[in-house]
Chain A
């Protein structure tokens, strides 16, 4: 039977208006010593205080909703580091850490990323995907978070299974965001060819409470994506977590150059287009979130 679901994010939006979510996690952990090839999610157990610091920095920056260090926390991803058996423990800890930073007045949405397996190729069965997402979702709920953020998705089938797994196994509110890129024909499509419109309709049908986009684009391009989602689903709340601009290559290193001020400068347009949750993704820092928060929270 369908469980009665939490609606804290939607209720807070109804009361308070646009909410601010936090920024990048992986790059923040890297500045604290996470090396390429290390398992970021394992830090929830082995470097708890550093993960907690990221969450606290985002709370201090003014985020209303805090994510978790669990993006690659499905058993399939953790298996690559030999940590698959600890999936439940790691994801529960991820939720608990962010909850500790969030206190009573901020919300926590736990990050659930793609598994890296492709259904159309027969890499994996639908049942197996559903099971790993279910395991992660149940751990999030045990850790006490309010919502689950199914993010950086590109395939409708995988995202639908993730949303379904959260819906059928927990009471968590569900936010689902895809990553879109602007193609040579001037259209926004995910890697698997999904348009913002198709994403929104399919994920709402699966039971997502909020849909949207993350990664792939800076705040500027998110405006058009929000517009297309709202056109397809006028009543649905939209969440955006944008990169700090588009990546630029500088002396052999890829960097996201957009300053907090530039990112925040595009926020009024994204709000005007209809976004209800706005935060950051790759390259964003607590400074970016603070700048976004100033724009969102100080609106007349």
Chain B
């Protein structure tokens, strides 16, 4: 098994320290940082995401894999920067105004990072305008909005409206998710995309960034 395959395998198993050591080893062996990222770390996360979508694994497995990825990235990040490797895009994520839940949002953040995106997390109970401001400041072209409550999901429309009224209108897109959110609701409030789970959110983000 090549060192990149070993990175993937260990990431899938959530062996954070092994992933970290293997990334160092791969660098020593002269592997390109982008190669280690794409064919090692991200390849592993993509397997975890696919298994999660099929209900073969659950949140804990995703969390420990994401943690292993984070360990690997600690070593890899400076090398990626040196090599001038850019993330495939930047996304701002947060939970809507009035809603203090963060597990789903954090999970989506991990899967987005696991898909190679730069993630700016603006936290919970976030005012609509703050999403837009953060997107401007970080040159993000995608905003991910989360809500767990039926009473707060309606605030997602506020984020859509705030984007429309801003200078980012037509440039940035909005994706929505959370337990009570549906595709129909997404269409109704005029958001650009809906994903049912964190792994699908990563796929959706990649496709929205390409458009």
Please give the residue numbers on chain A whose beta carbons come within 8 Å of chain B beta carbons, in ascending order. 30, 35-37, 80, 116, 118, 120-122, 154-155, 183-185, 187, 189, 191-193, 247, 249, 251-255, 282
Shortest beta-carbon distance from A179 to chain B in Å: 10
In the complex the two chains form, is B182's CB within 8 Å of A116's CB? no
In the complex, which residues of chain B have a beta carbon less than 8 angstroms from the beta carbon of A189? 55, 58
In the complex the two chains form, is B150's CB within 8 Å of A255's CB? yes
For the complex, what is the distance from the CA of A249 to the CA of B102, rounded to whole Å? 22
Known A185-B55, A187-B55: A35·B63 in contact at CB below 8 Å: no
For the complex, what is the distance from the CA of A183 to the CA of B188, rounded to whole Å? 26
In the complex the two chains form, is A35's CB within 8 Å of B98's CB? yes
For the complex, what is the distance from the CA of A252 to the CA of B154, rounded to whole Å? 7
In the complex the two chains form, is A37's CB within 8 Å of B97's CB? yes
The one of B60, B99, B154, B188 in contact with A192, judged by C-beta atoms closer than 8 angstroms, is B60
In the complex the two chains form, is A192's CB within 8 Å of B58's CB? yes
Known pairs A118-B59, A193-B58; list 9 more (Cβ under 8 Å).
Answer: A36-B152, A37-B152, A80-B100, A116-B102, A120-B64, A121-B63, A121-B67, A193-B61, A249-B185
In the complex the two chains form, is B59's CB within 8 Å of A191's CB? yes
Q: List 29 contacting pairs A-B, 8 Å CB cutoff, sorted by A.
A: A35-B98, A36-B97, A36-B99, A36-B152, A37-B99, A37-B100, A37-B152, A80-B100, A80-B124, A116-B102, A116-B103, A118-B63, A184-B54, A185-B54, A189-B55, A191-B58, A193-B57, A193-B58, A193-B60, A193-B61, A247-B150, A249-B180, A249-B184, A249-B185, A251-B188, A252-B157, A252-B185, A253-B150, A254-B180
The one of B54, B63, B152, B185 in contact with A120, judged by C-beta atoms closer than 8 angstroms, is B63
For the complex, what is the distance from the CA of A159 to the CA of B100, rounded to whole Å? 21
B101 within 8 Å of A (CB atoms): yes
Shortest beta-carbon distance from B77 to chain A in Å: 20
B199 within 8 Å of A (CB atoms): no
For the complex, what is the distance from the CA of A191 to the CA of B125, rounded to whole Å? 22
B111 within 8 Å of A (CB atoms): no
**In the complex, per-residue mask of B58-97: 1 if CB is within 8 Å of any chain A CB, else 0:** 1111011001000000000000000000000000000001
In the complex the two chains form, is A116's CB within 8 Å of B60's CB? no
In the complex, which residues of chain B have a beta carbon less than 8 angstroms from the beta carbon of A185? 54-55
B189 within 8 Å of A (CB atoms): yes
Known A192-B58, A193-B60: A252·B189 in contact at CB below 8 Å: yes
In the complex, which residues of chain B have a beta carbon less than 8 angstroms from the beta carbon of A252? 154, 157, 185, 188-189
B3 within 8 Å of A (CB atoms): no
In the complex the two chains form, is A37's CB within 8 Å of B101's CB? no
**Chain A residue with the shortest CB-CB distance to B151:** A36
In the complex, which residues of chain A have a beta carbon less than 8 angstroms from the beta carbon of B100? 37, 80
- Is the contact region of chain B dominated by helix, strand, or loop, or is it mixed? loop
B204 within 8 Å of A (CB atoms): no
Shortest beta-carbon distance from A195 to chain B in Å: 11
Shortest beta-carbon distance from A85 to chain B in Å: 18
**Chain A residue with the shortest CB-CB distance to B98:** A36
Shortest beta-carbon distance from A62 to chain B in Å: 26
In the complex, which residues of chain B have a beta carbon less than 8 angstroms from the beta carbon of A184? 54-55
In the complex, which residues of chain A have a beta carbon less than 8 angstroms from the beta carbon of B57? 193
For the complex, what is the distance from the CA of A121 to the CA of B188, rounded to whole Å? 36
In the complex, which residues of chain B have a beta carbon less than 8 angstroms from the beta carbon of A155? 60
B159 within 8 Å of A (CB atoms): no
The one of A80, A120, A193, A254 in contact with B150, judged by C-beta atoms closer than 8 angstroms, is A254
B149 within 8 Å of A (CB atoms): yes
For the complex, what is the distance from the CA of A231 to the CA of B63, rounded to whole Å? 31
For the complex, what is the distance from the CA of A187 to the CA of B151, rounded to whole Å? 29
For the complex, what is the distance from the CA of A215 to the CA of B7, rounded to whole Å? 39
In the complex the two chains form, is B55's CB within 8 Å of A247's CB? no
For the complex, what is the distance from the CA of A238 to the CA of B149, rounded to whole Å? 27
Residues of B124-158 whose CB lies within 8 A of A: 124-125, 149-155, 157
In the complex, which residues of chain A have a beta carbon less than 8 angstroms from the beta carbon of B155? 36
Report which residue of A37, A80, A185, A192 has the largest number of chain B beta carbons within 10 angstroms of its beta carbon.
A37
The one of B58, B151, B189 in contact with A30, judged by C-beta atoms closer than 8 angstroms, is B151
**Chain A residue with the shortest CB-CB distance to B57:** A193
In the complex, which residues of chain A have a beta carbon less than 8 angstroms from the beta carbon of B188? 249, 251-252
Residues of B15-73 whose CB lies within 8 A of A: 54-55, 57-61, 63-64, 67
Shortest beta-carbon distance from B55 to chain A in Å: 4
6 closest residue pairs by CB, A with B: A193-B58, A36-B98, A254-B150, A37-B98, A183-B55, A254-B180
The one of B60, B64, B180, B189 in contact with A247, judged by C-beta atoms closer than 8 angstroms, is B180
